[in-house]
Structure 1
């Protein structure tokens, strides 16, 4: 399913790897129509004292390299996409394009949705993460509806982003967390017309149990999301 195209690189204010055309609009539409959202949960952090506030919805397909229950009941389109994302060919392409050795690291693959009002505030990502990679699945994202990946120069939300990347189908964005990797996702507002849909790969330096044993206490709200 995936077409591994050339990867471009942005170096300022932090390293971002960008590729386009991994999916056709028709493939993205088929994935959108059959997205495995039945068991998605809302995750939210609303404490203003926490560095990162967010509201979004998530269902894991892979956790620490192991398939979840949700991965066993996928549509043919999603099953093919997941096979491609875990394939040797894709890993060759990702390692070559990022210059990072990722094989052998704990891997999570999640389906993330943002509905109206969902957002992610300015943050850098956790230092125990090797890289975050995002595949966008919206073939027709309405202009002015938020949901953009915002590249920032600091953690000050009053400073305008230096770049905004709209969620376009087949676009692939990856970045390793660092001291300057400030970014956010602008609040979604489509009038209920569209759900922002992405697949996110996270490669970690620690397994899930170690990560969450060391995770500071935080307020998290979870609830079932009804399609």
Structure 2
């Protein structure tokens, strides 16, 4: 990942410069982000070419290079109940809301010998940006004013043919945003797998998970989201998902 001397409009976001494309570090963008989050009609925010191109390419390659993926399924029950199935149980024909491949133990990716060292270094850099430092949280705060807690939920997922996510709400206590980094450079519209969102008035929005884009979903009591079935014959729709929670929750 190359270094850069570009400076964002907000000096406190200097740490984000090596990671986030410059058009998403301006005062005009943060004003637009604030209008989005605090507006009267909740909907997803979809940001194209979000990561620096060299970082996006490196993370995409590193994620594809992860050696161990597990079939993962889950059934949502009520507002917050969730039963998970892994490996053979995930493919056993249970009635489920979620069907995908996932990395079962993300911290283990950093263990010695767990994966190619170059790919491991990229994963470590991304984790530092997105979770272990305040870099991504400070970027969100600059646009929304949200004070986010340091502990967040992360998932690394991929999709096989017919995999998808049924309608759910993510009403985890304190969760305010769901973020998805899309990393499949081979994705095409005909592959399906769109992220869909419905607000309390029944308005729907649909987002194609195009390479190096970021979707951000506001989590609200009356809103639902889902992922339409993926239809490619090869594994794809590589995604890093992060759930963000309010400080003190």
Shift of 1:199: 0.8
Give the TM-score normalised by structure 2. Answer: 0.65
Shift of 1:80: 1.8
Query: 1:69 aligns to what?
Result: 108
Aligned residues: 196
Q: How does 1:156-195 map to 2 (within 5 A)?
A: 162-192=204-234, 194-195=235-236
Q: Is residue 115 from structure 1 mapped to residue 160 from structure 2 by the alignment? A: yes
The higher radius of gyration belongs to: 2
Check whether the contact 1:43–1:56 (CA below 8 A) recurs between aligned residues. yes
Q: Is residue 96 from structure 1 mapped to residue 137 from structure 2 by the alignment? A: no
Check whether the contact 1:60–1:70 (CA below 8 A) recurs between aligned residues. no
Distance 1:197 1:152 in 2: 23
Structure 1 residues 15-53: Cα deviation after superposition (integer angstroms, max 9, x where no partner): 434433222555434323321633332221368999971
Gaps of 5+ in 1: 63-67, 207-227
Give SS of 1:34's match.
helix
Check whether the contact 1:13–1:152 (CA below 8 A) recurs between aligned residues. no
Q: Is residue 44 from structure 1 mapped to residue 52 from structure 2 by the alignment? A: no
Give SS of 2:103's match.
strand
Check whether the contact 1:61–1:109 (CA below 8 A) recurs between aligned residues. no
Check whether the contact 2:176–2:220 (CA below 8 A) recurs between aligned residues. no
Query: 1:58 aligns to what?
Result: 102
Check whether the contact 1:127–1:177 (CA below 8 A) recurs between aligned residues. no
Distance 2:165 2:40 in 1: 21
Distance 1:113 1:198 in 2: 6
Query: 1:130 aligns to what?
Result: 176
Gaps of 5+ in 2: 1-17, 83-95
Check whether the contact 2:179–2:242 (CA below 8 A) recurs between aligned residues. yes
Q: Is residue 152 from structure 1 mapped to residue 198 from structure 2 by the alignment? A: yes
- Which runs of structure 1 show a deviation greater than 4 angstroms over 4 or more consecutive aligned residues? 10-13, 46-52
Q: 1:42 to 1:185 in 2, by over 3 A?
A: same
Give the TM-score normalised by structure 1. Answer: 0.71
Q: 1:95 to 1:45 in 2, by over 3 A?
A: same
Distance 1:95 1:82 in 2: 19
Check whether the contact 2:76–2:168 (CA below 8 A) recurs between aligned residues. no
Give SS of 1:198's match.
strand
